[in-house]
Amino acid sequence: MKKHLGETLRYLERLVSYPTVSSDSNRLMVADLAARLEDAGARVELLETPDGKKANLFATLGPDVPGGIVLSGHTDVVPVADQDWTSDPFELREVGGALFGRGTCDMKGFIAAATVLAPEFAKQQLRRPVHFAFTYDEEVGCLGARALVPALQERGIRPAMAIIGEPTGMQVIEGHKGCCEYTVRFSGLEGHGSAPHRGVNAVEYAVRYVAELMQLRGELMMRAPEDSRFEPPWTTINVGRITGGVAHNVIAGKAEVDWEMRPVQDGDAAFVKTAMQRVVDTELLPMMRTIRPEADIVTEVVGEVAGLQVMAENAARDLLASLLGANGADVVPFGTEAGLFQQMGMSVAVCGPGSIEQAHKPDEFLRIEQLEKCLDMLLGLARSRVLLQDPR
């Protein structure tokens, strides 16, 4: 175990040194992972974006048969700009048993552990495959996983289970909310601020749009399922950004609103989208176009990622519980790529080292004891009947 831990710490240091912020390329990190997995005997495929800037990695150890398990993680990290770090975020630093650096818990710690243990999986007489799925752009709408899933389906790859290594404190998670992200662009008519009635102020209409979103918050609270295990138990709405205008004395011709919702149930997403489209079509746009017929409101879907639905039968959840000695599983409000794999027909659970409380913050950290628990779990998986039993 000490050997694996030391090697994992060294490899995590290497992975953290790659500044894989979602706005930048992940190719250097993916190439590093590919080389290491190939050295372990894995069959590796890189699935590039059309511009070649980024790539998903999908690697397999063991026989080319249906079933087996996917170990999944995302390679991208959130930005560090305007965050007050006490050290270089892309240099791993250990203090008092904590590993500081961007992406340590979210989620390069899990990726490092899984990759370092690839030779241990390769040593086994695997009867079912172990897949490694490392994606791009999870933080901006699960874009990589949304491209990977259909690619796997086209290739006829049908794993039975998936473990998503997001930071859960090594607790087994069987369900989470969905995540739907949108950018709404308002086009009005600029003019002099002294005559606001002659223009169409895009910022004003953006504010009205946001006010309608806030009104829906209360209605969503009333729609919360009685048996909801989430905290909070209802679908949430958050407005992340409003921009527009150029100066105090100019009628704003352009504005944008970035917002998201986290649905507890599928019907809530449709409820919100239908309500907002009705406001746009029957109230906002008619008012804007009385002055400028070309005025417009356009909604861009950044991402609509399904939640992880709690299932009565979930082999991945049960496997993790047995490996960790856990009693039961929980749900979380944050989103992951898990729902996309579930839609492929897999049993899926989320479990990984670190706490979501440290993710996305300055001085993000991962405790070494969490990494040890993750290594123990993965070593147990490598020797489990799930992978060693005859698939016939």
Q: Give the residue numbers marked as catalytic.
A: 76, 138
Q: Partners of 258 in the beta sheet? A: 183, 241
CA–CA dist 17, 23 (Å, integer): 16
Buried b (16+ CB within 10 A) or exposed e, 306-344: bbbbeeeebbbbbbbbebbebeebebbbbbbbbbbbbeb
Q: Which of 8, 149, 120 is nearest to 62 (CA)?
A: 120
Query: Position of tokens 């005859």?
Result: 390
Cis status of the peptide bond prior to 232, with omega within 30 of 0: yes
Query: Position of tokens 């992978």?
Result: 387
CA angle 362, 368, 370 (to 5 degrees): 95
- Count other C-beta atoms under 10 Å from residue 93's C-beta: 17
Contact 176, 308 (CB under 8 A): yes
Beta strands in 3-127 (DSSP E): 43-48, 55-61, 69-74, 93-95, 98-100
CA–CA dist 164, 177 (Å, integer): 15
Contact 26, 20 (CB under 8 A): yes
